[in-house]
Amino acid sequence: MTLPENMLWQQLRQRPNGLKFRRQHPIGPYVVDFCCMSHRFAVEVDGFAHDIEGRAAQDQIRTKYINDNGYRVLRVAAARVIANAVGVTAEVVAFGALPLHHPAGGPPPRAGED
């Protein structure tokens, strides 16, 4: 684990707000930095390597795959973790509190009903 990942792990391993995280958890062919299985979201710490040309496109493909498999993804810059790991942890907890989806007044109409 990188320094920022380790700093964030020291916070997440304390189960903030009752959220249990796994580190280096596989989702399909990808391994996410941290994963909260109960709330189905992943946290990715992006260092300078993610600023390299072409990496943004790879990150989008990776994020789409993870989203398509039922997980939300929170990306956090490594520099932010180094500057304020406790603040980033609060952001992670807030992200975990968001609902997985936002129903719009009930289920969609059945086929043939408008």
* 92, two tokens: 């992670």
CATH T-level assignment (fold) for domain 3-97: Endonuclease; Chain A (3.40.960)
Q: How many angstroms separate the CA atoms of 20 and 4, rounded?
A: 19
Residue with tokens 């992200």: 95
- Could you give the angle at the alpha carbon of 64 between the alpha carbons of 53 and 56, nearest 5°? 10
The ranges assigned to domains in the chain are: 3-97
Please, what are the averages of pLDDT over each run of 10 residues along the chain (114 residues)? 94 95 95 95 81 74 93 94 96 84 55 56
> What pLDDT score was predicted for residue 22?
96
72-77 and 41-46 strand pairing: parallel
